[in-house]
Amino acid sequence: MTPPAAPERSPLRPVTGLWYLLVLLSALALGFGLYAYSIQLERGDIATGLRNPGNGGAAWGFYIVFYVYFVGVSFAGITVASLARLFHIETLKPVTRLAELLTIVALIVGALMVLADLGRPLDGLQKLPMLARPSSPFYGTFTLVVSGYLFSSLVFFILAARRDAATMARTGPRLLRPLYRLWASGFREEGVAHARHWRTSYWLALTILPLLVIAHSTLGFIFGIQSGRPGWFSALQAPAFVVLAGVSGTGMLILFALLARSIFRIRDLVPEAAIRWLGTFLWVLAAVYLYFIIVEELTSTYAAPRADRTIAHEVVEGTFSTSFWVAVGCLFGAFLIPFVMYLRKGGSLGWLAVAALLANVAAVVKRLLIVVPSQTHGGLLRMRQGVYTPTWVEAGVVIGGAGMLGLAILVFGRYFPLVPSHVTDEQRHTPVPRDPLRSIVSLVWLFGSLALIIFGLGDSFRLWSHGELDPRVPFSPAIFATGVILLFSTAIVYEAFPARRRTPPARVAKPPPRATLRRKAMPPRVDVRAQFRSSRDRRIRRTS
Amino acid sequence: MSDPKRRSLLKAGVAALGAAVLGKQTEDRAEAGHGHHRSGPPGKADHAHPRWGMVIDLDRCTLCSSCTTACRQENNVPSVGPDDDHRGALIEWIGILWQEPEQPGALPTGMPFPCQHCADAPCVKVCPVGATFKSPDGITMQIWDRCIGCRYCMVACPYGRRSFNWEEPEWSGTQVQMLNPDVATRPGGVVEKCTFCHHRIRRLREDAAVEGRELRDEELQRLPACAAACPAEAITFGDLHDPESKVATQARDPRRFQLLDYLGTDPSVIYLKRDRR
């Protein structure tokens, strides 16, 4: 790199006072969450409002609701980033990093919510990687969602930010520079690097989108495939989960983008157009989900079996009616506001923030309405109806999770630019030289990870266990997850593989034009067609 | 379950993996349900792989709740506190499923209600770690030590016959002396359920092996604690695969029914309708 004439300036800007306030609030929330969880660990799950279903309670409550909610929030991030790459939507580029960050943090917080739900969390951490069975949707949750989805997003995120990490390694806070350097992993500011990233990001985006649909469908399947639970058992659950995830995720992304614009003083870098695009995305998804609600309620009230009808009745006009109409109202607001803004091609961004907030309220309440009524009122046998009232401990743990989400994003934005630096089309389309070693290593890596995936999955299915309960090789679910992680890290290997030693720069300064060289080395061109023509002419002449 | 078939599937490579996986699942299910032997007219006796089952004759049952008490005593089922906070935290392996009286003013009716030990058990399918599984003799077992406490089985069970230890069970001094040494106590944070008094079956098997004989139907009929305690002899236990056994004979009674049989879970607990003469 040629040394710049003026000292390079850090892309970070000073934060506003609001940052300090929000960090304080998030830290307090996190602390409160930890305290609440410590109470639960000490007293046992009796500290929650959960009880045995069929005996007057619900076995799943706030934790599962917010697990599904946080994983749902993660939806928009990676979708937006993938769409921006696949369809080359330049408008969205400024929010992609924030979106990916939201995805990663929300997924981690979601996984922690499951952990809070487990009766024996430490055993869960040990036994799920060791013994998990794919026939349980929880396996899908822990391997596909957490490993596949989280790590693909992480790889996407890490690779897209290498250039900015390299800049930060030169200009950022001295204490953090080794970290930035590690992240940049030898990034060199040259067209080839951008072109390579352009390639890998395309393949990653293409892989992530179907994975995303699978992951969110898995969440839906947790509920949708339980034939013994009226209200859950429905083929609509999986697609509805994908769409509702989109509603809440897009809403959350709009909120975070608006907040980040003012907290990190990046109003000029995040144009209104990007946020308006997200608004459009929001009303489309909200409209689809409203349609799903109508389909769901019509099916379960028209001539459904008794238990399904009981639940639908409880939800629409019984015990849960207030929550239901709040959810529908909020969802309608989340549709109407951005829709009107779309029609008028204008309107204040403040209104969009309101719509985004409504979308998230609707998502939480609707999830509660999916998880709880079926357990408390959905017994197929006439057993005791239940009640579920979350305790302060559960609420505290959830608040702690939200605090963690906020804290992670705020702190990250303080030490890393949230808006990716601009890459020109010219840089992206730089011809990539042949590099056989890089390709071979990447391919070996790819196939190695595929082998791990196949073995890990097969053994998790107990294909080679001969009727035993355990997989043949201990930790084969972990082997599968590692395979998934390595599969996505192929992109890192491909991009960060050290470049071949080139000729010293002195000679590069005046490179001989390779094209002319090659042309000179080639034998003189022979016009085959002309030769053919002449021989044919001769033949014709001879026959005539 | 044939090995060569499985091997050939594996050889087919990546493309066949999906098929192999599906095939394996079907096999697993077949194995779990003993090839979906219907519990109705039992087939040939198969003492190597019996299918333990229970017939509860509601005509005999007086709803005295002896079975529930005996079960608690036998299986060290912890009692929970009496306060409101513990409502719904009740742990029971066999309870009474009360039913609304048909005419107002009539006495309430009900039925003893243990785990149904379904041949195709929804709880077994959803357990993420294999803590609950079908034993070869058809019992839906639960390994306490393996359970991580996710409670997925509880929400999946259509009968609501699984209980969670919402807190660490406490046993006072005298209670400790009354604990049954044959059954392990469970820690907090795990799900527990009826095992058809599996430990009693095992002991009986061992005794029979020592004496070098087969299990006899007479010694099985009142084997589980609930059946042994029933003063009206309403509960009969035995091998549903053995057509001569009392339980299989009773299971052919025209009054027979299974709870929620339309779900296709094929319970091993068979009820005989109350005969209103």
Both A173 and A217 in one domain: the answer is: yes
Both B144 and B246 in one domain: the answer is: yes
The pLDDT score that the predictor gives to residue A538 is: 63
Both A320 and A446 in one domain: the answer is: no
Both B213 and B90 in one domain: the answer is: yes
pLDDT in tens, A353-375: 999 999 999 999 999 999 999 99
The pLDDT score that the predictor gives to residue A539 is: 62
Both B125 and B206 in one domain: the answer is: yes
Distance CA A428, CA A425 (A): 5
The pLDDT score that the predictor gives to residue A513 is: 54
Both A101 and A168 in one domain: the answer is: yes
- Pick from A55, A227, A463: CB nearest B24: A463
Tell me how long chain A is: 544
Mean residue pLDDT of chain A comes to: 88
The pLDDT score that the predictor gives to residue A334 is: 96
Q: Is the pLDDT of residue A502 over 60?
A: no
A482 domain residue, yes or no = yes
- Give CA torsion, residues A279, A281, A287, A288, to 10 deg: -160
Nearest CA distance, A148 vs chain B (angstrom): 18
What is the pLDDT confidence band of residue B173, given thresholds at 50, 70 and 90?
confident
Please answer yes or no on whether B148 and A136 come within 8 Å at the CB atom.
no
Q: Is the pLDDT of residue B103 over 80?
A: no
What is the pLDDT confidence band of residue A352, given thresholds at 50, 70 and 90?
very high
Both B21 and B55 in one domain: the answer is: no
Q: Is the pLDDT of residue A29 over 70?
A: yes
User: Under the phi-then-psi rule, with left for phi > 0, alpha for psi from -120 to 50, and beta for the rest, what region is A166?
Assistant: alpha
A13 domain residue, yes or no = no
Both B21 and B73 in one domain: the answer is: no
pLDDT in tens, A461-490: 889 888 788 899 988 989 999 998 999 999
pLDDT in tens, A235-275: 999 999 999 999 999 999 999 999 999 999 999 899 999 99
- Pick from A44, A114, A142: CB nearest B189: A44
Both A375 and A480 in one domain: the answer is: no
Both B174 and B137 in one domain: the answer is: yes
Nearest CA distance, A128 vs chain B (angstrom): 6
Total structural domains within chain A: 3
Q: Are A68 and A53 in contact (CB under 8 A)?
A: no
The pLDDT score that the predictor gives to residue B15 is: 42
Please answer yes or no on whether A382 and B99 come within 8 Å at the CB atom.
yes
pLDDT in tens, A427-469: 888 888 888 999 999 999 999 999 999 999 999 888 988 878 8
pLDDT in tens, A279-326: 999 999 999 999 999 999 999 888 888 888 989 999 999 999 999 999
Both B19 and B120 in one domain: the answer is: no
Both A495 and A519 in one domain: the answer is: no
Which residues on B lie below 8 Å from A375 (Cβ)? 155
The pLDDT score that the predictor gives to residue A511 is: 54
Which residues on B lie below 8 Å from A111 (Cβ)? none
Supply the CATH number for residue B162's domain: 3.30.70.20
B24 domain residue, yes or no = yes
Q: Are B150 and A124 in contact (CB under 8 A)?
A: yes
- For the segment A390-394, the average pLDDT, to the nearest whole number, is 95
The full DSSP string for A58-96 is -SS-HHHHHHHHHHHHHHHHHHHHHHHHHTT-GGGHHHH
Residues spanned by the domain of B9: 1-32
Candidates A37, A133, A144, A470, partner chain B, best to mutate (most B CBs within 10 A): A133
The pLDDT score that the predictor gives to residue A216 is: 87
Both A393 and A275 in one domain: the answer is: yes
ipTM summary value: 0.85
A432 domain residue, yes or no = no
Nearest CA distance, B95 vs chain A (angstrom): 11
Six-digit token string for B59: 């005509």
The pLDDT score that the predictor gives to residue B20 is: 43
Both B16 and B50 in one domain: the answer is: no
Both B129 and B6 in one domain: the answer is: no
What is the pLDDT confidence band of residue B34, given thresholds at 50, 70 and 90?
very low
Q: Which residue has the higher pLDDT, B241 or A518?
A: B241
Please answer yes or no on whether B155 and A44 come within 8 Å at the CB atom.
no
CB atoms within 10 A of CB A532: 10
Both B51 and B178 in one domain: the answer is: yes
**Side-chain-facing half-sphere of A462: CA atoms under 13 Å:** 20
Which residues on B lie below 8 Å from A386 (Cβ)? 88
Q: Could you give the percent of chain A with pLDDT greater than 90?
A: 61
Q: Which residue of B has its CA nearest to A132?
A: B129
The pLDDT score that the predictor gives to residue A303 is: 83
A352 domain residue, yes or no = yes
The pLDDT score that the predictor gives to residue A141 is: 74
A149 domain residue, yes or no = yes
Both A309 and A203 in one domain: the answer is: yes
Where does A161-190 have alpha helices with state H?
162-171, 177-184
- For the segment B67-90, the average pLDDT, to the nearest whole number, is 86
A346 domain residue, yes or no = yes
Angle among Cα A97, A397, A392 to the nearest 5 degrees reads 140
Q: Is the pLDDT of residue A534 over 90?
A: no
Residues spanned by the domain of A460: 437-500
Both A334 and A457 in one domain: the answer is: no
Both A258 and A397 in one domain: the answer is: yes
Both B134 and B4 in one domain: the answer is: no
B277 domain residue, yes or no = no
B134 domain residue, yes or no = yes
Both A339 and A479 in one domain: the answer is: no
B112 domain residue, yes or no = yes
The pLDDT score that the predictor gives to residue B36 is: 40
- Pick from A55, A57, A381: CB nearest B260: A381
B135 domain residue, yes or no = yes
Which residues on A lie below 8 Å from B260 (Cβ)? 228, 380-381
Both A293 and A252 in one domain: the answer is: yes
Q: Which residue of B has its CA nearest to A459?
A: B21
Both B188 and B235 in one domain: the answer is: yes
Both A415 and A445 in one domain: the answer is: no
Total structural domains within chain B: 2
Which residues on B lie below 8 Å from A132 (Cβ)? 128-129
The pLDDT score that the predictor gives to residue B265 is: 94
